[in-house]
Amino acid sequence: MWLKLLLAGLSVAFCTLLGYLAAEKYRARKRFFTAMNTFNEKYLSELRFSRKPLPVFLKENHFSGEFATMLTSYSERKTDVERYFLTAEERQQVKNYFEMLGRGDSHTQSGFFEAQQPQLAEAQKSCEKEAKERGALYLKLGLLAGFAFVILIL
């Protein structure tokens, strides 16, 4: 009896964990676009006032997460922006964004990054909404799959 209850509890917990891990893609997108929007705001401020070169700006400001990894790898080696959580359209948008970093004069860059600001804010909002909805959905599906597994097997 106790063994069956333990097995049932572990099955439900495991399936719920799988649901949580399945929703990681949407949480990663939310974190990425939040960091990218924050970076854009700081970089615009930098372009408007002190106008330091990009390598100096990157050394003075520390960013974290997938965005920081992508930013440093792109600024050092100009690698492609392949991440599992970005769609093809978002990859192209991010690639264009990174290609403009440090290119041209400050006026041209300011114009480009100001034009990107509404798009990034919208992407951040939609990713936050999607992460909230999909995260809860996958968690509930995992929980229900665990209960279904318990009912069918035990």
pLDDT per residue over 96-105, tens digit each? Answer: 888 888 777 7
pLDDT at 83 over 80: no
pTM: 0.83
Find the DSSP H helices in the chain. Answer: 2-22, 24-48, 54-60, 65-77, 88-100, 106-153
Per-residue confidence (pLDDT) for residue 81, from 0 to 100 = 65
141 vs 129: CA distance, rounded Å: 18
**Centroid of chain to Cα 29:** 3
- What's the CA gap between 133 and 104, in Å, rounded? 41
Q: Mind listing the pLDDT tens digit for each residue in 106-153? A: 778 788 888 889 999 999 999 999 999 999 999 999 999 999 999 998
Q: Name every residue whose Cβ is closer than 8 Å to that of residue 136 and which is 6 or more positions away in sequence.
A: none
